Structure 1
Amino acid sequence: MNLSYWEIKTWLSNIDYTIVGSGIVGLNCALQLKEKFPKANILILEKGTLPQGASTKNAGFSCFGSLSEILDDLNTHTEQEVIELVKKRVHGLQLLRNTLGDKIIDYQQLGGYELFTKQDSDLFQECLSKKEDINNLLKPVFNAAVFSLKENIFRFKNIEENYIFNQFEGQIDTGKMMDALLQKALSKGIKILNNVSVTNFSEDANGVKIETNSFSFSSSKLLIATNGFASQLNILEVKPARAQVLITKPIKNLHIKGTFHLDKGYYYFRNIDDRVLFGGGRNLDFKTEETTELHQTAIIQNKLEELLKSTILPETPFEIDHRWSGIMGVGTQKKAIVKQLSTNVFCGVRLGGMGIAIGSLVGKELADLV
Structure 2
Amino acid sequence: MELSYWELKTWLDGLDFCVVGSGITGLSCALELRKTHPRARILILEKGVFPQGASTKNAGFACFGSLTEILSDLNHHSEDTVASLVSQRWKGIQLLRQRLGDKALDYKQWGGYEVFRETDSAIFERCMNEMDRVNTLLKPVFGQSCFRPAPNIFGFGSVLPELILNPLEGQLNTGKMMQALLHKVQGGPDPILILNGVALTEYSDLGDRVAISTNRFDFQARKLLLATNGFAGNLGVSEVKPARAQVLITEPIPGLSIQGTFHMDEGFYYFRNVDDRLLLGGGRNLDPEGETTREFGQTPLIQESLEGLLKEVILPGTPFRIAHRWSGIMGVGSQKKPIVTKCSDNVACGVRLGGMGVAIGSHVGMELAGLAVD
TM-score between both structures, scaled by the size of structure 2: 0.98
Which SS does the other structure have where 1:241 is aligned? strand
The match for 1:357 among 356, 359, 369 is 359
Deviations 1:38-75 (A, max 9, x none): 11000000010000010000000010000000000001
Deviation at 1:145, TM superposition (A): 1.4
Cα distance in 2 for residues equivalent to 1:142 and 1:190: 35
The 5 A counterparts of 1:219-238 are 219-238=221-240
Contact 2:19 2:45 survives alignment (8 Å): yes
Deviation at 1:206, TM superposition (A): 3.5
Cα distance in 2 for residues equivalent to 1:167 and 1:205: 50
1:157 is aligned to 157
1:338 is aligned to 340
Deviations 1:283-334 (A, max 9, x none): 0000100001011111000000000000000121000000000000001110
The 5 A counterparts of 1:40-51 are 40-51=40-51
**Match for 1:93: what amino acid?**
I
Deviations 1:141-178 (A, max 9, x none): 12211111111100100111100000110011110000
Deviation at 1:125, TM superposition (A): 1.2
2:56 is aligned to 56
Task: Kindly tell me the number of residue pairs found equivalent between the two proteins.
Answer: 370
Deviation at 1:205, TM superposition (A): 3.8
2:370 is aligned to 368
Cα distance in 2 for residues equivalent to 1:249 and 1:167: 28
**Match for 1:307: what amino acid?**
L
Cα distance in 1 for residues equivalent to 2:74 and 2:208: 45
The 5 A counterparts of 1:1-370 are 1-188=1-188, 189-370=191-372
Q: In terms of mean alpha carbon deviation, does 118-127 or 292-301 score higher?
A: 118-127
Which SS does the other structure have where 1:269 is aligned? strand
Give 5+ residue unaligned stretches, structure 1. none
**Match for 1:204: what amino acid?**
L
Cα distance in 2 for residues equivalent to 1:195 and 1:120: 46
Deviations 1:73-127 (A, max 9, x none): 0011000001001111111000000000011101111000000112222111111
Cα distance in 1 for residues equivalent to 2:211 and 2:139: 48
Sequence identity of aligned pairs in percent?
A: 60
Contact 2:207 2:346 survives alignment (8 Å): no
**Match for 1:140: what amino acid?**
P
Cα distance in 1 for residues equivalent to 2:318 and 2:352: 38
Cα distance in 2 for residues equivalent to 1:159 and 1:102: 33
CA distance 1:78–1:37, shift in 2 (3 Å)? same
Which SS does the other structure have where 2:341 is aligned? strand
Cα distance in 2 for residues equivalent to 1:29 and 1:22: 10
**Match for 1:183: what amino acid?**
H
Which SS does the other structure have where 2:245 is aligned? strand
**Match for 2:9: what amino acid?**
K
**Match for 1:255: what amino acid?**
S
**Match for 1:151: what amino acid?**
P
Cα distance in 2 for residues equivalent to 1:198 and 1:141: 38
**Match for 1:154: what amino acid?**
F
Which SS does the other structure have where 2:343 is aligned? strand
Which SS does the other structure have where 1:165 is aligned? strand
Cα distance in 2 for residues equivalent to 1:2 and 1:308: 52
Cα distance in 2 for residues equivalent to 1:309 and 1:164: 22
Q: In terms of mean alpha carbon deviation, does 138-147 or 45-54 score higher?
A: 138-147
Which SS does the other structure have where 1:316 is aligned? coil
Which SS does the other structure have where 1:141 is aligned? helix
Which SS does the other structure have where 1:240 is aligned? strand
Cα distance in 2 for residues equivalent to 1:52 and 1:256: 30
Cα distance in 1 for residues equivalent to 2:342 and 2:335: 18
**Match for 1:5: what amino acid?**
Y
Cα distance in 2 for residues equivalent to 1:17 and 1:142: 35
Cα distance in 2 for residues equivalent to 1:192 and 1:257: 36
Cα distance in 2 for residues equivalent to 1:356 and 1:74: 22
Give 5+ residue unaligned stretches, structure 2. none
**Match for 2:268: what amino acid?**
Y
